[in-house]
């Protein structure tokens, strides 16, 4: 194979597939700093021609490459290759990306537009950033392994210190009643709400067609069912249109 084709040199007038305008360019040869210093020594110190200096090193380099190395040394007085540059610099620093991640950790329901607004309005931590696109914010979240997921709702009062203390006191009271010789009957009472028009949310159908089910045009009212259960079974139950309030709970207790 021709030496110029191995180094990816484009030959004018070449045919397609042979390094010409219609062919593919080969991989660019990376010349180390040691070879550059050797070429400069051969040309400037020992007086060799550029072609001879290129043939003395391994791998062999062309006269054009040697002349480029010599010109860079004479004009800029450097041998080392410049680091690769190019592309857009990152808009946010690592500290600023951490602040964006903290916004999501504090509020899992926050939207991209809300994060965008906070960044623009915060002139202390995001100084100099007057505009940022939603796609940029999304890339920052993905880079920090944050993805869109199903939202689970957990009552915040359930695990509060006050509720935990009430649970503890309730368990202690049950233990005290069990320790008494006189038998006690425990009655558990609870309320649950539902709607008569509830239906399944998922179904099956042929691929490419929707799963359709007929529903009434108007939604019925919510029904609340309150029941009391003991070790012997259901003591009393009562259904009511709408949720239970204090007055209705007292009526329910009087009918027990």
pLDDT digits (tens, 9 = 90+) for 196-214: 766 677 776 777 777 777 7
Q: How far is CA 20 from CA 16, 157, 248, in A?
A: 6, 74, 91
For residue 181, the model assigns a pLDDT of 78
Using CA atoms, how far apart are residues 49 and 43, in angstroms rounded to an integer? 6
Per-residue pLDDT, averaged over 223-248, amounts to 88
CA atoms in the 13 A half-sphere facing the CB of 181: 0
Q: Tell me the pTM.
A: 0.39
* Most confident listed range (47-61, 131-145, 148-162, 216-230): 131-145
Tell whether the model's pLDDT for residue 134 goes beyond 90: yes
Q: How does pLDDT run across 165-187, given as a tens digit for each residue?
A: 999 999 998 888 888 877 778 88
Q: How confident is the model at residue 86 (pLDDT cuts 50, 70, 90)?
A: low
Dihedral sign of CA atoms 167, 172, 173, 174 in order: positive
Listed in sequence order, the residues at least 6 apart from 220 whose beta carbon sits closer than 8 Å to its beta carbon are: 195, 196, 197
Q: Which two tokens stand for residue 228?
A: 């009391």
Using CA atoms, how far apart are residues 176 and 226, in angstroms rounded to an integer? 28
Share of the chain above pLDDT 70, in %: 83
For residue 18, the model assigns a pLDDT of 46
For residue 29, the model assigns a pLDDT of 72
Q: How far apart are the first and last CA of the chain?
A: 101
Q: Cα–chain-centroid distance for residue 222?
A: 39
Mean pLDDT over each residue of the chain, to the nearest integer: 81
Tell whether the model's pLDDT for residue 9 goes beyond 50: no
């Amino acid at each position: 194979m021709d030496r110029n084709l191995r180094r990816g040199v484009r030959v004018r007038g070449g045919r397609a597939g042979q390094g010409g305008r219609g062919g593919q360019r080969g991989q660019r040869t990376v010349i180390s700093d040691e070879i550059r210093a050797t070429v400069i020594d051969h040309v400037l110190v020992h007086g060799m021609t550029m072609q001879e200096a290129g043939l003395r090193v391994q791998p062999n380099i062309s006269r054009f490459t040697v002349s480029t190395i010599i010109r860079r040394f004479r004009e800029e007085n450097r041998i080392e290759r410049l680091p690769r540059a190019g592309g857009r610099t990152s808009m946010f620093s690592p500290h600023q990306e951490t602040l964006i991640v903290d916004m999501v950790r504090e509020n899992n329901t926050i939207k991209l537009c809300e994060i965008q607004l906070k960044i623009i309005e915060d002139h202390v931590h995001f100084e100099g950033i007057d505009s940022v696109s939603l796609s940029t914010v999304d890339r920052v979240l993905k880079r920090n392994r944050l993805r869109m997921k199903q939202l689970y709702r957990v009552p915040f009062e359930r695990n509060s210190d006050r509720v935990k203390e009430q649970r503890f006191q309730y368990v202690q009271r049950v233990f005290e009643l069990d320790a008494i010789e006189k038998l006690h009957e425990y009655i558990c009472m609870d309320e649950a709400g539902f709607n008569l028009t509830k239906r399944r949310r998922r179904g099956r159908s042929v691929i490419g067609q929707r799963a359709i089910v007929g529903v009434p045009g108007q939604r019925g009212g919510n029904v609340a069912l309150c029941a009391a259960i003991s070790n012997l079974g259901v003591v009393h139950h009562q259904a009511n249109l709408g949720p239970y309030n204090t007055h209705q709970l007292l009526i329910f207790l009087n009918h027990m």
